[in-house]
């Protein structure tokens, strides 16, 4: 059974970098049929996709966050990670890691489809 | 940008009655070559992550009760719960995956009247 577990600091100071890791169990992150992504949800608000990564390192990022985010993958540990730089209070949210299904578009490339599995989420608060 | 707009923002329905949630996309999510609508629906209960209900606008995920159904095409979509149960109290989100920058609707809160 697939499980995704977010980990990282629950409190980050303004202007610093938020770092989270998602550990995947029950499936190999090197599976060719999935991307692995991050979605966040500010308290009491809706869902905001951050970005997603393939095991090869290919990424898709939300254009509104692209300048501040880096998503990486470590297949040896079956983990993927998020770094969000220059955080402000507006980045306070529950951060979810998740698994996307994908569709092939040729040339060994894929587009994202729906999200079929989610972690439980971790609250990150940006405050001094 | 694909903007997804749901209506209403909140909804109260009596147990056993039908609940209808709408989702409108700013651009069509129908891909003509395969005639599929690139739209999914999720349910999020308090304190839990979202759960996939429907993809391709109308295909139920395995294990989802058949009282949940999705319909629509192009820019206008509907999630229908045919007979509301107490456990269906949740926030519901639509999501487009037509573009590489996926986007969600703002959510619709469903309560019991």
Structure confidence by residue, pLDDT tens digits, B47-100 = 999 999 999 999 999 999 999 999 999 999 999 999 999 999 999 999 999 999
The number of C-beta contacts closer than 8 angstroms across A and B is: 52
Predicted confidence at residue B110, as pLDDT, reads 98
Rounded to the nearest 10 degrees, how much is the dihedral formed by the CA atoms of A107, A108, A112, A113?
A: 100
Question: What φ, ψ does residue A90 adopt, rounded to 5°?
Answer: -65, -15
Q: Are B96 and B103 in contact (CB under 8 A)?
A: yes
pLDDT in tens, A46-90: 999 999 999 999 999 999 999 999 999 999 999 999 999 999 999
Q: Are B61 and B70 in contact (CB under 8 A)?
A: no
Find the helix or strand (DSSP H, E) in which B27 lies. Answer: none
* B51 close contact with A: CB closer than 8 A: yes
Closest residue on chain A to B107 (Cα): A46
Query: Strands B10-13 and B108-112: what pairing?
Result: parallel
Q: Which of residues 45-74 of A touch B (CB under 8 A)?
A: 46-49, 60, 62-63
Confidence of residue A105 (pLDDT cuts 50, 70, 90): confident
Share of chain B above pLDDT 70, in %: 100
A104-109 contacts, C-beta under 8 A, 24 or more apart = A109/A58
- The span from the CA of B74 to the CA of B98, in Å, is 11
Distances (CA, A) of A6 to A18, A20, B6, B56, B81: 13, 7, 29, 28, 32
Helices first, then strands: H and E counts in chain B: 0, 13
Interface test with B, best of A53, A105, A115, A116 (most B CBs within 10 A): A115
Contact B50 A63 (CB under 8 A): no
Q: Rounded mean pLDDT of A111-120?
A: 96
- The span from the CA of B28 to the CA of B36, in Å, is 11
Backbone region of residue B58 per phi and psi (left: phi > 0; alpha: psi in -120 to 50; beta: other values) = alpha
Residue A31 has pLDDT above 80, yes or no: no
Residue A106 has pLDDT above 90, yes or no: no
Q: Which residues of B touch A116 (CB under 8 A)?
A: 52, 61
């Amino acid at each position: 059974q697939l499980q995704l577990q977010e980990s990282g600091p629950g409190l980050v100071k303004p202007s610093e970098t938020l770092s989270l890791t998602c550990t995947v169990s029950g499936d190999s992150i090197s599976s060719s049929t999935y991307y692995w992504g991050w979605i966040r949800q500010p308290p009491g608000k809706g869902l905001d996709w951050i970005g997603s990564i393939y095991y090869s390192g290919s990424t898709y990022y939300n254009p509104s966050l692209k300048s501040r985010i880096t998503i990486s993958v470590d297949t040896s540990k079956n983990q993927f990670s998020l770094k969000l730089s220059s955080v402000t209070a507006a980045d306070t949210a529950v951060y979810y890691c998740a698994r996307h299904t994908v569709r092939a578009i040729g040339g060994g490339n894929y587009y994202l489809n729906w999200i079929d599995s989610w972690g439980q989420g971790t609250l990150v608060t940006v405050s001094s | 940008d694909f903007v997804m707009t749901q209506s209403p923002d909140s909804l109260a329905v009596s147990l056993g009655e039908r609940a209808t949630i709408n989702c409108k996309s700013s651009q069509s999510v129908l891909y003509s070559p395969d005639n599929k609508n690139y739209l999914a629906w999720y349910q999020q209960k308090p304190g839990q992550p979202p759960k996939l209900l429907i993809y391709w606008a109308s295909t139920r995920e395995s294990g989802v009760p058949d009282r949940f159904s999705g319909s629509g095409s192009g820019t206008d979509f509907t999630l229908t719960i045919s007979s509301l149960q107490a456990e269906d109290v949740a926030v519901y989100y639509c999501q487009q995956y037509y573009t590489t920058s996926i986007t969600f609707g703002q959510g619709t809160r469903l309560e019991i009247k």
